[in-house]
Amino acid sequence: MRLTTISLSLCALAVLGGTLPYAQSAPEDRQAETEPGKKLFNQCRACHTLDRTGDSGAGPNLYGVVGRRVGKQAEFAYSSALLEKNVKWTEEELDNFLKSPGDYAPGTTMAYSGMKDTANRKALIEYLKTMAPAKQHSRARQH
């Protein structure tokens, strides 16, 4: 009986907006969580920007990339290899691409051999998720 009461209480708490396992981090906690990815992004800065204006460098601007369709950064000439993918940059797609861009999209013009470490790719993607307009960012965090 007691286990049932506890289970029902936890379910009610979750339904009513409780903060059990899905609690959102405080901003300072989120910043600490994304710091490793921010440092990893320094590898990308030679070609990519994270500018809200949308200006690109040698590679497309990555501001708001998580959840965006591949090849949809305005005013950037993507390789046909990437355009043919015709997918959204989900966490999974980004992970596969970052692991080995040449294997993901043979013929891509991205001159990066890839990020082999799974934890580093995850950290970079977590950081990229924070680099988006507030509305898009909240959608990205739900995936």
Tokens of 18: 């409780």
CA 71 remoteness from chain centre: 16
| pTM (whole model) above 0.85 | no
> Do the Cβ atoms of 111 and 21 come closer than 8 Å?
no
- Pair 55, 61: CB distance under 8 Å: yes
Q: Is the pLDDT of residue 124 over 90?
A: yes
State residue 55's pLDDT score: 83
Determine the average pLDDT of the residues in 59-86.
Answer: 91
Please count the CA atoms within 13 angstroms of the CA of 90 that sit on its side-chain side: 8
pLDDT at 7: 35
pLDDT at 83: 93
What percentage of the chain has pLDDT greater than the value 70?
Answer: 72
Neighbours of 3 (CB within 10 A): 7
Domain boundaries, the chain: 28-142
Closest CA to 47 of 63, 60, 37, 36: 60
Name the least confident of 2-6, 23-27, 39-43, 87-91: 2-6
pLDDT band at 92 (very low <50, low <70, confident <90, very high): very high
User: What DSSP character marks residue 91?
Assistant: H
As assigned by CATH, the class of the 28-142 domain is mainly alpha
Decide if 94 contacts 105 (C-beta within 8 A). no
Torsion angles phi and psi, residue 69, rounded to 5: -70, 145
* Average pLDDT in the chain: 78
Q: What is the pLDDT, as a whole number, of residue 29?
A: 65
143 has a pLDDT exceeding 60:
no
Tokens of 31: 């910043």
Read off the DSSP letter of residue 112: -
